[in-house]
Structure 1
């Protein structure tokens, strides 16, 4: 079942509000209010999205009909109600924008303003609302999950709240369903990749935010999570901004003693959470192709399929994943230099007259997304590979390639044979040198189990070390009985020229 036009509209409006908040560079609040007035028959749902960001612009909404939003009489009436004001305005401005109107110049209607009566507003404010026939309970479930995913980003200086106003009988009450404020509590200097990793960890510990608190039955501490981070960026030039791609991968192993609901959440399926310019969306086809083109077998994984589910989420299915192991992936692609997808500046009076309650020379957002190029595809692929390599480097034995696993299977027989040769020798000096190379005392050389275990450990260590190294780094394999510390050379992947790897 495809996502409804009302939900697509709501998602676009939230994305625009996030961008306005980011542009303002101030502490902002984004509020989503749902209410179902009792006077409507049949019942209708009123959705209002307000923010204290940079201010709204007509240009933001004029392009929406050309994108994913399609007017459908079955879900919403095609009319947006817009309310906005600035700090210096003496009035609150109201507008109505009808997407059913075929003539573009007739879509906007100016409604009577509301005087402020001398009251001073400390921030710019915008509110966009629409009415839909969707069931309020189903809509609440969907938008709660959407906001929970947005909270993974922990967007700096932006607090997000979700409210549902129940209007039954003469009175009404407002339920505060969600308040995402972690983004404003973290240090402003905290890198975006660290915020993303922290957000995904919280999301995983709460089983996809299905529970309010961290599941203590499955995770006694955050240290149980295996976390890999990857960041890639495009080259910067005078005419282009820096395109960033971030990937965070979290590996969990749910104990067999966990309850059924926890075990059910652990499967051979991985939902890929994708964000573009700080807003959740379906993963572009180029990025999906990039995921499919990764040599997963070099990380000991076999990808069976990748597809979108009915909600537009990308699902990866694995063949050989342990029944109690879960893989969680989040990707974020955005511009580093400026937040919105496309920025236009109003430089004259005529353009300012076309804007809605926006200050002069204030950037104007449009919801058009960037065209995904081959560079974007390479960035996503590189970021994921860096995150996988980060996991392999930090957690011994994790994500060994199929080739390394095959070789490691011969380690017990090889170590047993070498230990037998050492112990069967009558040359005490030879045995003493072997003990020294193994880091053992001469008295330990008489214990076959000790020698065998020590040799096997060194063999496996060398196999794992060589598997971590990038294939394009050409070095001689380290000797079994020498110091394992190796100076790793930084190298750039030849297949993705033009991008830079950021060390974490």
Structure 2
């Protein structure tokens, strides 16, 4: 029997709802995603499972998943959250299975629940239902990423992170090879390394790695605009007036010629 430590589970939850104008009835859609890590030497039969059977409920009763809901799962931008969807299958029995490629987790469970506050209604799979499911699913994935940014980098972010060690080593080498003690001191201060701390190559490289990885995690969202992108080394902003003055001086010099 497989036993999971709840503290080691990574859980993302999302919800969306819609109120119909002509009916006092609110439709709710809830999505829960549970990620489990299992040791590679575990005897658990569910370890390193590359597929996920989606659990689907309507009005608190297990049922077959709608084709429209399955389409939402297949069209979701999973790669932005570090998942590589290989494919999916919707069987004749109405059960949906998602196949993952190069999955870094031991097990992924997904549960979807839709329900109405008032009277039971027939299953429709309307555009509104699909919109609510897509919204709830994205909310659950965003929740996972917000709580565990390093584990759910986008596929692009993961590729960028692979270059961090080599780049950090190069930057550390440039800093340590400099003969300008004032420059080195400023770099150590920016990296949070005091003069009394170990400023060996390993310490400098490690500090640069941590900062770069943190920046990658922060920027690995679609919500960040270019104006909000942080930098490894914070620099003072140039004074706009001084730039204009310098530009004006250049124009005067050009006119003299």
C-alpha spacing 1:266/1:421, structure 2 compared with 1 (3 Å): closer
What residue in structure 2 maps to residue 271 of structure 1? 53
Of 286, 293, 296, the residue aligned with 2:68 is 286
Counterparts of 1:286 and 1:333, CA distance in 2 = 13
Give the superposition deviation at 1:433. Answer: 1.5
Deviation readout 1:258-316 (Å, 9 max, x if unpaired)? 22xx1345410101000011111111011111111101111222212211346432110
Matches within 5 A, 1:27-38: none
Contact 1:341 1:370 in 2 (8 A): no
Q: Residue 273 of structure 1 aligns to a residue in which SS? A: strand
What residue in structure 1 maps to residue 213 of structure 2? 460
What residue in structure 1 maps to residue 30 of structure 2? 246
C-alpha spacing 1:249/1:222, structure 2 compared with 1 (3 Å): same
Q: Residue 376 of structure 1 aligns to a residue in which SS? A: helix
Deviation readout 1:369-400 (Å, 9 max, x if unpaired)? 23221111111111111111111111131221
The CA RMSD over aligned residues, in Å, is: 2.0
Contact 2:33 2:110 in 1 (8 A): yes
Q: Report whether the alignment pairs 1:480 with 2:257.
A: no
Which runs of 5 or more residues in structure 1 are unaligned? 1-210, 343-368, 483-504
Matches within 5 A, 1:2-13: none
Matches within 5 A, 1:29-428: 215-216=2-3, 219=4, 221-235=5-19, 237=21, 239=23, 241-259=25-43, 262-264=44-46, 266-309=48-91, 311-322=93-104, 325-335=106-116, 337-338=117-118, 340-342=119-121, 369-428=122-181
- Whichever of the two has the greater Rg, that structure is 1
What residue in structure 1 maps to residue 238 of structure 2? none
C-alpha spacing 1:444/1:412, structure 2 compared with 1 (3 Å): same
Q: Report whether the alignment pairs 1:439 with 2:192.
A: yes
Q: Which has the higher contact order (CA 8 A, sep 6+)?
A: 2
- TM (norm. structure 1) is 0.44
Contact 1:245 1:332 in 2 (8 A): yes
Give the superposition deviation at 1:472. Answer: 4.5
Counterparts of 1:454 and 1:282, CA distance in 2 = 51
Contact 1:419 1:448 in 2 (8 A): yes
Counterparts of 1:320 and 1:393, CA distance in 2 = 22
C-alpha spacing 1:241/1:480, structure 2 compared with 1 (3 Å): farther
Counterparts of 1:249 and 1:309, CA distance in 2 = 21
Counterparts of 1:481 and 1:389, CA distance in 2 = 28
Counterparts of 1:426 and 1:444, CA distance in 2 = 19
Counterparts of 1:476 and 1:240, CA distance in 2 = 43
Q: Residue 443 of structure 1 aligns to a residue in which SS? A: coil
Q: Residue 13 of structure 2 aligns to a residue in which SS? A: strand
Q: Residue 149 of structure 2 aligns to a residue in which SS? A: coil
Counterparts of 2:214 and 2:224, CA distance in 1 = 19
- TM (norm. structure 2) is 0.83
Contact 2:8 2:36 in 1 (8 A): yes
Give the superposition deviation at 1:320. Answer: 1.5
Q: How many residues get paired?
A: 233
Which runs of 5 or more residues in structure 2 are unaligned? 235-257
